């Protein structure tokens, strides 16, 4: 059996600032022990209608300083909103740097055929913490030979 309690105790701690007091009632959280992401909500003063094709930057009212450069945040769409209602992200994926201290913003894009109205504090996207490996680039004239070489984009055949 997987020890979820021990796993929870070892979670990295992230500094979060509330940029709007109303968010205190809507803090992001993992919905289940195994959830990969925490939902991010729309900090809107009124319902926002997006026409087909329209894209708007929506506030979350939250700032999260990850601080550890071996971690990053990702903002990803919610599958139900994307699949059923065509509401996805204008940048497809939001990448949050570990040194970013500003407000988390969600680029909301209506890629569907119908207008969609977003409600204040509706869960719009999810925030996932991911490991990052930073590299040093080392200039070389040639690579050691590899089986693949420069082949890509279907070079090995369709099936
Ligand atoms: O969906 C997103 C994507 C990014 N950010 C914030 C966090 C991130 O660390 C910062 C910069 O993002 P990115 O580097 O992708 O933006 P850019 O367009 O390259 O702008 P910059 O020149 O500021 O780096 O913006 C968000 O709040 N939401």
Q: How confident is the model at residue 4 (pLDDT cuts 50, 70, 90)?
A: confident
- Examine the pLDDT at 69 and tell me if it is beyond 90: yes
Q: In this predicted model, what pLDDT tens digit does every residue of 31-47 receive, in sequence order?
A: 999 999 999 999 999 99
How many structural domains compose the chain?
1
Output the domain CATH number for residue 55.
2.70.40.10
pLDDT score of 155: 87
Q: Whose CA is nearest to atom 7 of ligand 1?
A: 96
pLDDT of 62 over the 90 cut? yes
Range of weakest confidence among 86-90, 106-110, 151-155: 151-155
Domain enclosing residue 66, as ranges: 15-24+38-131
Decide if 93 is inside a domain: yes
Rounded to an integer, what distance in angstroms lies between the CA atom of residue 47 and that of residue 41? 13
Residue 6, domain member (yes or no): no
- Encode burial over 64-94: b for 16+ CB neighbours within 10 A, e otherwise: bebeeeeebbbbbbbeebbeebbbbbeeeeb
Region of residue 47 (phi > 0: left; psi between -120 and 50: alpha; otherwise: beta)? beta
- Residue 49 · residue 43 · CB < 8 Å: no
pLDDT exceeds cutoff 90 at 9: no
pTM (whole model) above 0.80:
yes
Q: Which of 62, 93, 95, 99 gets mutated to test ligand 1 (max ligand atoms within 8 A of its CB)? A: 95
Ligand 1 atom with least separation from CA of 99: 9
Ligand 1 atom with the shortest distance to the CA of 104:
27
Please check whether residue 33 lies inside any domain of the structure: no
Question: Is a pLDDT exceeding 90 seen at residue 96?
Answer: yes
Q: What is the pLDDT of residues 102-146, one digit of tens each?
A: 999 999 999 999 999 999 999 999 999 999 999 999 999 999 999
Considering the chain, what is the average pLDDT of its residues? 95
Q: How far is the CA of 85 from the centre of ligand 1 (A)?
A: 25
CA distance 91 to 57: 10
| CB atoms near residue 143 (< 10 Å) | 8
Query: Is residue 148, in this structure, part of any structural domain at all?
Result: no
What integer pLDDT is reported at residue 1 of this predicted model? 83
């Amino acid at each position: 059996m997987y020890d979820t309690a021990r796993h929870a105790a070892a979670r990295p701690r992230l500094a979060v600032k509330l940029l709007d007091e109303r968010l205190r009632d809507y803090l992001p959280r993992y919905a289940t022990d195994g959830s990969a992401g925490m939902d991010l909500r729309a900090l809107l003063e009124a319902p926002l209608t997006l026409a087909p094709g329209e894209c708007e930057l929506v506030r979350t009212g939250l700032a999260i300083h990850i601080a550890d450069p071996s971690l990053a945040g990702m903002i990803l769409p919610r599958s139900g909103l994307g699949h059923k209602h065509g509401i996805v992200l204008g940048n497809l994926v939001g990448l949050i740097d570990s040194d970013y201290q500003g407000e988390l913003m969600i680029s909301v894009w209506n890629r569907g055929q119908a207008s969609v109205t977003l409600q204040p504090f509706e869960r719009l996207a999810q925030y996932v913490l991911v490991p990052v490996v930073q590299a040093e680039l080392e200039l070389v004239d040639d690579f050691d030979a590899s089986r693949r070489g420069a082949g890509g984009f279907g070079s090995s055949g369709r099936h």
